Structure 1
Amino acid sequence: MKLPTKPRAIPMPLWLQGAFELGQAAVISALIVLIPLGAAWLTGGFAGRDALGTVQLAAQSWLVLHGVPLQLTLPEGGSSLLWAVPLGLTLIPFLLAWRAGRRLARASYTDQLWQALLGALAVYALFGFGAAYLADDGATSASPVAAACLPLIAAGAGMIIGAYREAGSWGRLIGVNLADWIATTSQSSRWAGSYVWSAVRAAFLATVSALGLSALLLAVALAIHWAAIATIYERLDAGIVGSAVITVGQLGFLPNLMVWSLAWSSGAGFALGAGSSISPLATTAGPLPAVPILGAVPSGPLEYGLVALAIPVAAGVLAGWWFFREGENHFDEWLQLKVSARWFTAAVSSVTLGLFVGVLAGVATALLALLSRASLGVGRFVDLGPDPVWTGLWVAAEVAAGVVIGYAAGPLLERESR
């Protein structure tokens, strides 16, 4: 009997493969942070730090990138909290975990993905715990528990979404087929579920549209104030590498600034330090830190600032029109069965839809506003960003009004012929 020329490959356990995939993502994200900081140190950008101090700064930056707050020990005594989530940079671990989730979904059988997820998240938590230990330089530290748990949010979300995109259905991942479960419910429940799901998607469309229009508004503001931004760059005189690091950091906070622009356009405004207020009516900011992108902050009263209030309303109009095209307003159909006055049922169903979609969009915007906030932990710069409650309320009211307008104008926009 002839022996095989190659030994048979022993399959890797799923928990070990998950640990390898997400451990790889943790290392790559750490290198993406460490390499620019190391380059800046080599060119004299951190004159007061040695090599170990630069590595500690990279560990602190990796933790901030994942939303972990840092405890600062102040020279005059006491302590403060530095907290910021650069949403643009947080996409790095999210996308790396998304890739890992796709690979793990291909390697897993139905209802076995949990094994890979468990091993992957355990390794990522261990990596965060080690980063907290390394980041402690005496003046700055992080809670080991927070460092182990908070990075799992971005990594876990990326893995689950990536695995779902690869598998194509939740039934393939968890063994439960949602379509089969819905098929066992009554027709009324299916109609109610279709109505709610369409309203959720309309709210998502309104939120994304409002963010997109706010991003356009931010781009216009950056273009108008480009001279002021360039002046701040010249005053910093950070050199080529230092300026590149500053620019990358600002790009990481660009999605945060998009949310701030949405808060500004809604009328709620945002703060750049305690006692400041930046809104469409006027700006009272006081002295700002030497961050180039803050040169785009408007100053004084704005003649056409109130025009920006149309952005959330326009997003609501688009969502209302989309809902009309979807044809899933089963609540309106139910009202017509109960009440014969069409003017009454049309008004009630449209207002109810507007309130429902507006509340959902307001909640989503409030969560984004909460994530976009920051605290430098120094002086008056402990309050940066929009107030989540007021931003959510303003956006909810404006989107609700837009949804009612868009749904009512749906027949006119479609130009349906009899």
Structure 2
Amino acid sequence: MTAFLDHFRAAPRTVLSRIPLPGATGDDDVRRPLPVSGMLAAAWTLGVGLAVLTTLTLVGWIAAPRGALGAGLPEVFRTAAQLWLAAHHAGFAIPGGSVGLLPLGLMALPAFLLYRAGIWMARDADLRLRLPARLPKNSPKEQANARRRAQLVLITQAGVSLAAPYALLAGVIALVARNEITQPFLGEVLISHLALAFVAGALATVRAIGPWRVMPRLLPERLRSVVAGTAVAMGIMLVAGALLTLGAIVVGFDQVRHLTGVLAPGFVGGLLLLLIQVLYLPNAFVWGTAYIAGPGFAVGAGTLIAPTGVQLGTVPSLPLLGALPEAGPSPAWLMAVIAVPFAAGAVAGVVLVRVAPSPSYEGAPLWGFACGIATGCAAGLLAALSGGALGGSRLVAMGPAAWEVMLSVTLETGVAAGISAGLANWWLIFRGQNTAVARAAAKVGSAAAPVRRAGARLARAAGAVTGRGGAAGPETERALPGHWLDATECDTQPIPVIRDDWQDEHASAAAERPARTRRPEPPRPPRRDIVDETDDRGGHVIYVDPYAWDRD
């Protein structure tokens, strides 16, 4: 289908390229506007999606020709249109109640089609050419922020260009799909189609203009850290809920098979029943997450399945519900699942600090709790989407309570994320301080090393003159206790006194050389630049020590 649209895209450009347009410089001047590309992509998505669901509905109508899906093909198409609206989680009003418990797995079909249509729209409108040019590596921060804002504006425009016509076309389909029994809620239809198309179109545009690994940089650093922590915490909880649900299905597989045999759907009906249960599996995974969080979920008015206990009544004859536990108190070891949200929050806090550390000790725990709030909002949204009414009477309450799940997950993951983020941020600051001290000490040691080596050479020279014939013994190899140029030791070591019988290092070095390589040197006059500070000549001479301030 996209190749078919690409053919229509190339044909007008081929024709227009032969017409000299005023001010036209190339193919970029005749590209299709973004709203037009978005409208074509929305129409393509609706057409393909309705075609797929109409085919499945037609198969079900042929397998059950007793009028369950209507008296003819118009009713088959109307049923397919209602399924398409349900795939976007738009509810229906029926006599005596409403239908809001819709399969989340069915949402994968329009999401995939919208994503592919969004990529085609971005390529058709040449969105890559509308982006600001790539900045050099050492560009100013103001230019980088301006480029990021321009990218976000372009992504938003692309999402709106796809979502607006898509929602309007869905409203038309909702009006066509009405009948005496089921009547779609028009407000839910518009909102659900608009939200799903905007998210899918924005993600597709992001993917079309750059690789996934660099797209998180579109967000500010602090917001990016909160998003990363929320995704990690929510992912851990969903995986735990999925494992718990699959384990319950394995344990209660005999009951599931018994309910399937009671329904006796036949071969084709069995395949459709299996497909329906697979589409409802994501709802069950979210219910398992609500069970782990503590509030649990309901399968009818007056029922509750939670770690604290199970209270059941009459449940619908869906084989997947055969995995529900028996009524009564839950085993004590099941209470251990409540630790999963705390563990998820702890991991999220570490990830948050790794992405964007806080320069202060008190900032990281606050951002960790903000990550818990975001995780609680995401869990509450999933809980609201996974549940809903399934008619009237007792089935008006199906699934978890969204506000209870949101509050529980916020407190559990928020507290754990705040503590772990604070500890991780403290460790990063502490390790950074130790690294800075070690580097400073290494610099001081490298700067004082030449002074110590000079002191050692002076000690060896003095020992060679005053020692036993210049022999290198233990006393001559011993370094001076301190040097007057060594700022790290002069406050505790006395200044060595230079006497008249000392010779300089040049004479001592010449004495250490072998006699055959030694050259005769003329006698030197006695040195007059050496002052004996111990002789004050009866108090008539006062010597000022320039290093006395450092010893006091």
Give the CA deviation at 1:159.
1.1
Other-structure match for 1:20: 40
Distance 1:72-1:361 versus aligned 2 partners, 3 A rule: same
1:151 aligned onto 2:151? no
Other-structure match for 1:366: 380
Relative contact order (C-alpha < 8 Å, sep 6+): which is higher? 1
Other-structure match for 1:58: 80
TM-score normalised over the length of structure 1: 0.80
Alpha-carbon distance in structure 1 between the residues aligned to 2:42 and 2:379: 30
Letter in 2 for 1:366: G
Give the CA deviation at 1:47.
3.6
The C-alpha deviation readout for 1:92-131, integer Å capped at 9, x for no partner, is: 1111111111111122242777787666445423432332
Letter in 1 for 2:337: A
Out of 45, 56, 64, the residue aligned to residue 44 of structure 1 is: 64
Work out whether residues 365 and 419 of structure 2, in 8 Å CA contact, stay in contact via their aligned partners in 1.
no
Other-structure match for 2:338: 309
| Secondary structure, aligned partner of 2:326 | coil
Other-structure match for 2:91: 69
Within a 5 Å distance, the mapping from 1:225-244 to structure 2 comes to 225-244=252-271
Stretch moving more, 148-157 or 92-101: 148-157
The C-alpha deviation readout for 1:360-405, integer Å capped at 9, x for no partner, is: 2111111111122221122211111111111111112221343256
Work out whether residues 317 and 403 of structure 1, in 8 Å CA contact, stay in contact via their aligned partners in 2.
yes
Other-structure match for 1:271: 298
Out of 84, 88, 99, the residue aligned to residue 82 of structure 1 is: 99
Distance 1:17-1:351 versus aligned 2 partners, 3 A rule: closer
Distance 1:285-1:45 versus aligned 2 partners, 3 A rule: farther
Alpha-carbon distance in structure 2 between the residues aligned to 1:151 and 1:283: 37
Other-structure match for 2:240: 213
Give the CA deviation at 1:228.
1.1
The C-alpha deviation readout for 1:6-56, integer Å capped at 9, x for no partner, is: 993446733333222221111222222222221111012654432233322
Letter in 1 for 2:170: G
Count of residue pairs the alignment pairs up: 374
Alpha-carbon distance in structure 1 between the residues aligned to 2:13 and 2:301: 67
Work out whether residues 321 and 410 of structure 1, in 8 Å CA contact, stay in contact via their aligned partners in 2.
yes
Letter in 2 for 1:311: V
Other-structure match for 2:416: 402
Work out whether residues 41 and 54 of structure 1, in 8 Å CA contact, stay in contact via their aligned partners in 2.
yes
Distance 1:401-1:120 versus aligned 2 partners, 3 A rule: closer
Give the CA deviation at 1:141.
1.1
Q: Which has the higher helix share?
A: 1
Gaps of 5+ in 2: 1-11, 17-29, 132-153, 436-552
Alpha-carbon distance in structure 2 between the residues aligned to 1:286 and 1:86: 23
Letter in 2 for 1:50: A
Give the CA deviation at 1:224.
1.1
Other-structure match for 2:357: 329
Gaps of 5+ in 1: 1-5, 75-79, 183-192, 336-347
Work out whether residues 241 and 292 of structure 2, in 8 Å CA contact, stay in contact via their aligned partners in 1.
yes
Other-structure match for 2:369: 355
TM-score normalised over the length of structure 2: 0.62
Task: Report the structure number with the largest CA radius of gyration.
Answer: 2
Work out whether residues 228 and 351 of structure 2, in 8 Å CA contact, stay in contact via their aligned partners in 1.
no
Other-structure match for 1:387: 401
RMSD: 3.2
Give the CA deviation at 1:407.
4.3
Alpha-carbon distance in structure 1 between the residues aligned to 2:233 and 2:308: 24
Within a 5 Å distance, the mapping from 1:113-192 to structure 2 comes to 120-168=162-210
Work out whether residues 266 and 309 of structure 1, in 8 Å CA contact, stay in contact via their aligned partners in 2.
yes
| Secondary structure, aligned partner of 2:396 | coil
The C-alpha deviation readout for 1:279-307, integer Å capped at 9, x for no partner, is: 01211120110111111111232212211
Out of 5, 11, 14, the residue aligned to residue 8 of structure 1 is: 14
The C-alpha deviation readout for 1:161-196, integer Å capped at 9, x for no partner, is: 1111111299xx9xxxx87xx9xxxxxxxxxx6344
1:102 aligned onto 2:119? yes
Give the CA deviation at 1:409.
6.9
Distance 1:349-1:107 versus aligned 2 partners, 3 A rule: same
Letter in 1 for 2:45: A
The C-alpha deviation readout for 1:325-351, integer Å capped at 9, x for no partner, is: 44x331xx334xxxxxxxxxxxx5564
Alpha-carbon distance in structure 2 between the residues aligned to 1:362 and 1:269: 15
Stretch moving more, 28-37 or 44-53: 44-53
Alpha-carbon distance in structure 1 between the residues aligned to 2:370 and 2:42: 39
